[in-house]
Structure 1
Amino acid sequence: MMSFQKEKRLVRALYSALERASPNRIGHVLSEFMATDALWRGFHPFDELTGAEAVAEQFWKPLRLSLSRMQRRQDIFFAGKNEIDGFTGTWVVSMGHLMGLFDRPWLGIAPTGKMVFLRYCEFNRIENERIAETAMYFDIPHLMMQAGLNPFPPQTAAHLVQPGPLTHDGLLFDDALDAEGQATLATINAMIGDLGTWQSGLPLEEELAQSWTDDMVWWGPAGIGATYTIERYAKQHSGPFRAAFKDRSKTRHLARLAEGHYGGFFGWPNFTARHSGGFMGMPGSDRPGEMRVIDIYRRDGKKLAENWIFIDLLHFWKTQGVDILKRTVAIADS
C-alpha cells in the first residue's frame, strides 16, 4: 500500500501551526513549511502569489484579522499521486470551512459581528518535505451572502452552508487501500469522458445516470447553489448551464488524484467557454470566459454520489467585463 503519511503530517502540522499563530506570525509559520519560490493560486482578487510572505500579507493575515477566533473545520482530507504528471507529484487535499466571527471588513465587505463560514478547498503539492505549490480556492460570494449582500441574481438551486459527506468518513488521516483510490479515479475519469464534451448524444438525465447515483448531491458554489437527485441537478444546473454556453474548450487539469472513496481535480483554468446568455441570469458576451474550478467527489460503489464544487465566479464574470465584488461592495456602501 502506498503511504502518504509524511506528506499528510506536514500539511496537518502547518494547519495546527497556523491556528496557533498570531496574525503577525503567519508569514514566519508559512516560511517553515513552504518552499522559497512556492506558487500559490487563489480565487479573485488574489490570483497568483509567490512565496510565504506574499501569501501571508495578502491573504492569510487580512483574513485572520477580519475573522477573529477562526477555526478550520475540515470535512475531507486525502492525498494521492497526480495522474496529470504521470503519477509523479504528491498532493494533499483539504476541504471544509474556515469559520470565525466577522469582526472587521474583508475585501470591502462590511463585518456583521456574527459567525460566518468561508467554504474552501486546498490542494498542496509536497516536494522535498516542503509545500511547493498550492491551489487555495474559496467561495467569497458565499461569505458575502452570509453578510447580507446579494452579489448575483436569484440562483437556480439552494443556498446552504454545506455539510461534509453523508458517510462522515472523509478525513483520511490514515492511508486508504490503493485499489479503492484507483477505483475512484477510474470513476472520475469515466465521468469526465461522459460529460467533458457535452456531446454524448444521450438525453441529459441518461448521460448523467452513467456516472452518478440517482440520489446524487451536487454541492455547487453560491450564485448557483446545491441540488439533489439527477432529475433536479439536470433541471437546476446542468441543463441551464450547458444551454448558456458554446465553444467550450477541452478540459485542462493541473492535478487529478484520488484516495479511498474520495478524489478530485483542479485547473487554472479548467476550461474556457463563450457565454451566450442566461447563466445566473446574466447577459451574454462575445468574450470567452475562464472557469477556474475545483471538484471533489465521493464514490459509492461504481458511481459518484456527492460532488463539492468551487468555481471562481468573481473571476469568470470579470473576464466578461463585470466586477461583481467591486460592484456589490460599492452598492452596499452607497
Structure 2
Amino acid sequence: MPDFQTEKDLVRAAHRAIDSAGAEACSAALAIHLSPQCHWRGYAPFYEQIGPEAIAESFWGPFKRAFSAQTRREDVFFAGKNEIDGFAGTWVVSMGHLMGLFDAPWLGIQPTGKMAFLRYAEFCKVADGQITEVAFYIDIPHLMMQAGLQPFPPQTAAHLVQPGPATHDGLLFDPQDAAEGEATLALINSMISDLGSWNLGLPLEEELRRTWAEDMIWWGPAGIGATYTIERYAKQHSGPFRAAFGDRSSTGHVARLAEGHYGGFFGWPNFTATHKGGFMGLPAGTPERPAEFRVIDIYRREGDKLAENWIFIDMIHFLRTQGVDILARMAEVPRT
C-alpha cells in the first residue's frame, strides 16, 4: 500500500515556498512545484486559473500585498487515492487558516490593521513529481465579518474563528494504517448515500444518527455558521436547508479520499438545487436558474461515527447564481 510520503513532502515544500515568498515572487515560488498547466479551481471571484503565473496574479500576489506577516496555521493534513477516478490519482489535502495583519484593501474590503484569519481548504493532485490540479476554497465572507461587515442576514448558527480537531491529531505527516482510512472513506460514503436522497423515510435526527456522533460539530461557512450536537445541527442548519431547496441534483465530486481518521471531498459543483425561498433571506429561484453549490467537506471519524465536519461553500458564487453579488454590495459599506 502507498504511504504517500513523496506526495506529502512535495506539497509541504510547495507550502513553504509560497508562504515565504513576497508578493512579487509568488509566480516563481509556485513554478517550483506546480506544473506549467496546473488547473487551479478557486473561490469566487478567482474561479479557474491555469498555470503558476495566472494563479499568482489572481490570488497570491494581491493577497500578500494586503496581508503582512502572513503565516499558515494548518490544522488538518492528509493524503490518499481518489475514489472518483477509481483510486488512480493521488491527492493531498490541507486545511486551516491563513493568518496575517490586514493592512491594505483586498477585494474592496477595507483593512483593519489587525490580525485576521482566512479559512482555507486545499486539495492538490500530485502526478509525475508536480502538482497538476488544485482546489483552493477560502471563506471570504468570514473575513468580511472580521472586518466589521455584515454581508448576510443573521446566521442560523454561530460565527467564530474555527479551531482544528478536538483531538489535535489532524496533521498526518507520517504514514497511516490503511485500514483506518478505508473505514473513514466507507463511513463518508454511507453518509453521502443518506444525504443524497433527502428522503430515507426517517425523521431527520434519526437519519443523522446512522452516521454522526451525538455530539457532532458542524463547522459551517460564514452565512450559516457552526453548530453542535445532532439536535442543534438538525434545527440550525440541515432542517432549514432541506426545507429551502428542492430538485437536488446528484453529487458531482471531483475528488474523494481518506487517510487515517480524516477524509473529505470537493465538487465543482457538488450539486445544484432549486431555491424555494427563505434561505439567507433570498426570494425563491427558478428551475431555469438553479442554485449551484461548490463545496469542500473535511471530516474526522471517531469510532464508527463522524465526529467533526469542516465545510467550505463558495457562498459568493452561490449568491451570484441567485442574482446577488455581496462583494459589490459590501465594497462601499463602512465597518461597523
Q: Matched residues in 1 for 2:172 and 2:189: separation?
A: 21
* Deviation (angstroms), 1:233: 0.1
Percent identity between matched residues is 68
Which amino acid letter does the alignment assign opposite residue 321 of structure 1?
A: G
Q: Matched residues in 1 for 2:281 and 2:155: separation?
A: 8
* Deviation (angstroms), 1:281: 2.2
Corresponding residue number in structure 2 for 1:110: 110
Deviations 1:249-305 (A, max 9, x none): 001100000000000000000000011111122221112011000000000001100
Corresponding residue number in structure 1 for 2:299: 297
Q: Is the CA contact (8 Å cut-off) linking 2:117 and 2:143 kept in structure 1? A: yes
Q: Which runs of 5+ in 1 are unaligned?
A: none
Q: Is the CA contact (8 Å cut-off) linking 2:99 and 2:118 kept in structure 1? A: yes
Q: Matched residues in 1 for 2:306 and 2:56: separation?
A: 36
Q: Is the CA contact (8 Å cut-off) linking 2:300 and 2:308 kept in structure 1? A: yes
Q: Matched residues in 1 for 2:312 and 2:146: separation?
A: 17
Which amino acid letter does the alignment assign opposite residue 262 of structure 1?
A: Y
The one of 320, 325, 328 aligned to 1:326: 328
Q: Matched residues in 2 for 1:151 and 1:315: separation?
A: 14
Q: Matched residues in 1 for 2:283 and 2:116: separation?
A: 31
Deviations 1:21-56 (A, max 9, x none): 111111001011111111000010000000000000
Q: Matched residues in 2 for 1:321 and 1:20: separation?
A: 38
* Deviation (angstroms), 1:162: 0.2
Q: Matched residues in 2 for 1:116 and 1:284: separation?
A: 34
Which amino acid letter does the alignment assign opposite residue 307 of structure 2?
A: A
Q: Matched residues in 2 for 1:126 and 1:200: separation?
A: 38
Normalising by structure 2, report the TM-score: 0.98
* Deviation (angstroms), 1:330: 2.9
Q: Is the CA contact (8 Å cut-off) linking 2:77 and 2:93 kept in structure 1? A: yes
Matches within 5 A, 1:1-334: 1-286=1-286, 287-332=289-334
Which amino acid letter does the alignment assign opposite residue 306 of structure 1?
A: E
Normalising by structure 1, report the TM-score: 0.99
Deviations 1:284-327 (A, max 9, x none): 11120110000000000011000000000110010111111111
Describe the SS at the equivalent of 1:297: strand
Deviations 1:51-91 (A, max 9, x none): 00000011001001101000100000000000000000000
Runs of 4+ with >4 A deviation: none
Deviations 1:82-129 (A, max 9, x none): 000000000000000000000000001000000100000000000100
Deviations 1:3-31 (A, max 9, x none): 10000000111111112211111100101
Which amino acid letter does the alignment assign opposite residue 296 of structure 1?
A: I
Moved more, 225-234 or 285-294: 285-294
Aligned length: 333
